[in-house]
Amino acid sequence: MENSIISYIYKHGSGILIISLLIITGLIFARLAKKIKLPQITGYILAGIIIGDPFLHLISKGNFKGFQSINLIALGLMSITIGAHLNFHKLKNSGKRVISVLVFESILTYIFVFSAIYFIGGSLLYSQDIFFVMLISSIAIATAPAATVATVKEIKAKGLVVNTMMPVVAMNNVLCIVLFGIFSIVYSKAGIFTIVDLFSSFGKELSISIALGLIAGFLLKFFAEKNINSSGHVLTLVFLTVLTTTGLSQLFNINSMLPCMFIGIVITNTSS
């Protein structure tokens, strides 16, 4: 490996070259996955495994940090898509189903992860700090949106399952952000906190996220309607909105997913 091209790229290659190799490898494996009737996201995941640490080692911990901005932008675009499935008119019919799935899934996940870490892991590997376990367990509630969104878009899926699944994914991640924010405050205060502490810390972050998402959503809708006949301009506006919202989220030190979800919510509920 030391004298190979892979080793040279790994040690001296630029981030742009590595990105191009990622895209090329991803496209090749996506096509192969499609040939055997699998979702293309399967090929992308396999390409990542091959080009990453398990095999070719092109992506190290060091150069992975350089891709954080790209990850945030991609996550922002997916968050808008997920938020766009929270149509309040449609939720009138499926609301009970969505809420029941959300509650059942979230509670069971939290209980299983909490029990595993606190009762099993606590005695073997971790300290039995209940507030730390509560914080870690809240992360397990989150649903990774990438594979879900990619598969639904690729096969143009519609119907009862999709109408239930996409709102659940959106609300699931919102719930995770809320619980993580609350438990992080509880953990930092070592369990000694007041309602005022929660509202002053997490309430501020939640308020900024909602305000930022609503403002960005209405501005995007306004300017997109002005350029409705130019799909290129609309795509540029969407990308610019995600960039700006993500950048402002970092500036205010808040999670960028929540504002982007609210952009999607605004668009889907105010568009005719």
Instruction: Identify the pLDDT of residue 3.
Output: 40
Instruction: Tell me the CA distances in angstroms from 16 to 19, 75, 192, 242, one per residue in order.
Output: 5, 20, 48, 21
Instruction: Identify the pLDDT of residue 190.
Output: 64
Across the range 194-218, mean pLDDT stands at 81
Instruction: Identify the pLDDT of residue 6.
Output: 53
| pLDDT value at 128 more than 90 | no
Contact between 209 and 258 under an 8 Å Cβ cutoff? The reply is: yes
Instruction: Identify the pLDDT of residue 2.
Output: 42
Across the range 93-98, mean pLDDT stands at 79
The answer for residues whose C-beta is within 8 angstroms of residue 25's C-beta and 6 or more apart is 47, 50, 51
Percent of the chain scored above 70 by pLDDT?
Answer: 82
Across the range 101-116, mean pLDDT stands at 87
Q: Is the pTM of this model over 0.85?
A: no
Across the range 198-208, mean pLDDT stands at 76
Q: pLDDT grade, residue 117 (50/70/90)?
A: confident
Instruction: Identify the pLDDT of residue 253.
Output: 85
Q: pLDDT grade, residue 245 (50/70/90)?
A: very high
Residues 155 and 151: their CA atoms lie apart, in Å, by 6
Q: Helices 68-83 and 160-188 sit at what angle, rounded to 10 degrees? A: 130
Q: pLDDT grade, residue 14 (50/70/90)?
A: low
| pLDDT value at 158 more than 60 | yes
Q: Which of 31-45, 83-97, 216-230, 236-250 has the lowest mean pLDDT?
A: 83-97
Q: Length of the chain, please?
A: 272
Mean pLDDT of all residues belonging to the chain: 79
Residues 15 and 173: their CA atoms lie apart, in Å, by 30
Instruction: Identify the pLDDT of residue 215.
Output: 94
In this structure, what is the dihedral angle of CA atoms 128, 130, 135, 141, given to the nearest 10 degrees? 90
Instruction: Identify the pLDDT of residue 266.
Output: 92
130-140 pLDDT, tens digit per residue, is 788 888 888 88
Contact between 147 and 165 under an 8 Å Cβ cutoff? The reply is: no
Residue scoring higher pLDDT (253 or 94): 253
Q: Which of 4-13, 59-68, 240-249 has the lowest mean pLDDT?
A: 4-13
Instruction: Identify the pLDDT of residue 139.
Output: 86
Across the range 225-230, mean pLDDT stands at 78
Residue scoring higher pLDDT (59 or 12): 59
